[in-house]
Structure 1
Amino acid sequence: MRHLFCTTFLTVAMLSASCAADSPVVRPPKGQVYVFESDASGFNTKTVFYDDGQQVVAFDAQFTEGSAEQAIAFLKQQTSHPIKYLIVTHPNPDKFLGVPAFKKVGATVIMSQETAQHMPAVYDYKKYYFVNIAKSFTDSSFPKPVTADKTFADTYTIPTAGGGTVELRELHQAGISSNQTVAYIKQANLLIVGDLVHHRVHAWLEGPIVEGKAAYQTQPWVNALRRLQKEYPATARVYGGRGEAAPAALAFADQIRYLTQAETITRSYVESLPGNSLADKKAKVDYATLTKAFEREFPGYGLSYMISYGAYGLVNSL
């Protein structure tokens, strides 16, 4: 797990990780969208808030309760409407560890049954890293496990003001994580997809955590994106877990291209290294050099530290 996140929690916070983000306030045809982005210490995770005019639905809870409190404070500067629901899109810690802050303000926490099922193993994997390797937390200071107030198997509908809905859907397939929930807000033509999309920033290429190991695979992630391409309007505005929002036609095509090229870049670099076997070569990977290769291929993309600390999953998958 040497490259699981970073050598220390503070190291990430000191990295330059700015990107060309959308305005934090967007006014779709129905309702409003507010977007909070943490700093690098929270892995530049975005919490998306949909305000229907009476109440707010939040998507993803941030990495710590402190970051979640910052997101909630940001929202209070935009609207007086209460957060009624928090949706966890997938079982990665920057999506669920901040849950207690949302519960304190009265939000009902909703996630799929698959997310709830996979969360404990991911929690243990990440806690081990941060406590025992990075030593950025102690056993007692690391965020505590969290639970949902409501889980669902396949779909779940949240009614909104004016007769609209937020339609939650579990994809039941791996992508960046072991599974993924997406949300479509038809009346506003918005699609929230969590970390399946990192538009115009580098992606976290660790992969799902399976039996205590990172299990990255490109094709399932690409398959999930192609499925969304077919099943949702090309004009829908897509909000990913990091990076800019973009029309679905652009967001999905660019992410597929990125993932395909990411594997090509990584394989080419690994195979160029000295060694008698692929295992020998992988052991000699210099992640700073690999990061530079990504930067050359994707000029203008932000969050290069995603490659430096997350691409070990892709490397190990070769």
Structure 2
Amino acid sequence: MRWTMGCWLLGALGLLGCAHTKQEDAPVARYTSDAQGFDTHSFFYDTGSEVVIFDAQFTEAEAGKVLAAVRAETPHPIRYVVVTHPNPDKFNGVAVFQREGAQVVASEATAAAIPAVHAAKKHYWVNVAKAFSEPSYPAQATVDITFRGTYRLPLQGEGQVELTELHHPGVASTQTVAYLPRRQALLVGDLVHYRTHAWLEGALREGRAVPDLDAWKAALEELKAWKGATVYGGRGESAPVEEAVAEQQRYLDGMEGLVKAYVAELGSRKAELCGNDAAPHYEALTRRAAEAFPGYALPYMVQYSVYGLVTPLACGE
């Protein structure tokens, strides 16, 4: 089974650098990990009395950098960490903030999905990639507050944070978005990668990747309810909601067509996509994606996630 590869392996291949960045992306502050953390954004919002963090990074070490970034900006306590969806770069680091007194908030569906996703990813990173030892891989995340449908965080400051569980899954098996009305900011996790290549693995169900691009596009349609908002995705830059939705849907349609065309070209050789010799094909798909979407950042995302789209077409799963 193919899974994501981080800077431990990518760096060895000379594909990219590994220096972390911290950026401010008004009206919410943003910390961006390096490639070892999959170039993941964590956003944080200071209400004037407390801080809310959105998504907690892949490792506790990276979460510690988010904590340092917050502490450099504000003395206010971190009260909540919101997990937008059940992928490990969103939940693995939550314990860092819980030790600071924060409560972790997620939908019931996301909380229910975390144990199986954690087990599958831990197995890969410990036993296949061998990038972690059993003790060094992050412990399974715990969620303190769960909700169904919608939930407004109880805040002491003047800000508001409204959480909504979308009706359709997106990049994972379930998706929460957070809206900050005073700032017209809509934080959507990896549902949107604006002008950045997306993570295409799909939801993990019983240890298998099960992407559903139609459901992802339907989830994007739901974002239009926040007319006038600016979307802040898990990777890439911010964009007005209408533009972000249209661009992400165009990307998903383009990648689906690109993968289908590649598998069709291989014909009787498509089984090569399913074995130990698949790497050159995934490299070729990455090059084609870069050509189809010039100027898009992070093409390595395609190389290590597009198997989710390829497998059902080529491998009989």
Structure 1 length as normaliser, TM-score?
0.91
CA shift for structure 1 position 62: 0.2
Q: Residue 232 in 1 paired to residue 230 in 2? A: no
In structure 2, stretches of 5+ residues that fail to align are: none
The residue number in structure 1 matching 2:96 is 101
Distance 1:281 1:84 in 2: 46
CA shift for structure 1 position 279: 4.8
Percent of residue pairs bearing the same amino acid type:
46
The residue number in structure 2 matching 1:45 is 40
The residue number in structure 2 matching 1:315 is 310
The residue number in structure 2 matching 1:261 is 254
Contact 1:55 1:81 in 2 (8 A): yes
From the superposition, tell whether residues 188 and 202 of structure 1 become closer, same or farther in structure 2 (CA, over 3 Å): same
Q: Which residue, 165, 169, 184 being the options, matches 2:179? A: 184
Superposed CA deviations along residues 230-252 of structure 1, whole A, max 9, x for unmatched, are: x111x211111111111111111
Superposed CA deviations along residues 262-313 of structure 1, whole A, max 9, x for unmatched, are: 100111111111417x556665751110000000011111111100101100
User: How is 1:293-304 mapped onto 2 (pairs within 5 angstroms)?
Assistant: 293-304=288-299
Distance 2:158 2:41 in 1: 27
CA shift for structure 1 position 156: 1.1
Distance 2:7 2:111 in 1: 25
In structure 1, stretches of 5+ residues that fail to align are: none
Q: Residue 287 in 1 paired to residue 285 in 2? A: no
User: How is 1:101-250 mapped onto 2 (pairs within 5 angstroms)?
Assistant: 101-160=96-155, 163-229=158-224, 231-233=225-227, 235-250=228-243
Contact 2:193 2:233 in 1 (8 A): yes
CA RMSD of superposed structures (Å): 2.1
CA shift for structure 1 position 76: 1.4
CA shift for structure 1 position 149: 1.0
Contact 2:23 2:32 in 1 (8 A): no
The residue number in structure 2 matching 1:5 is 4
From the superposition, tell whether residues 280 and 42 of structure 1 become closer, same or farther in structure 2 (CA, over 3 Å): closer
How many residue pairs get aligned? The number is 307
Distance 2:230 2:172 in 1: 22
One-letter amino acid of the structure 2 residue matched with residue 78 of structure 1 = E
Contact 1:86 1:107 in 2 (8 A): yes
Distance 1:162 1:128 in 2: 41
From the superposition, tell whether residues 17 and 244 of structure 1 become closer, same or farther in structure 2 (CA, over 3 Å): farther
Superposed CA deviations along residues 114-143 of structure 1, whole A, max 9, x for unmatched, are: 001011111111011111110111112111
Structure 2 length as normaliser, TM-score?
0.91
Distance 1:271 1:100 in 2: 46
The residue number in structure 2 matching 1:252 is 245
Structure with larger RCO (C-alpha < 8 A, sep 6+): 1
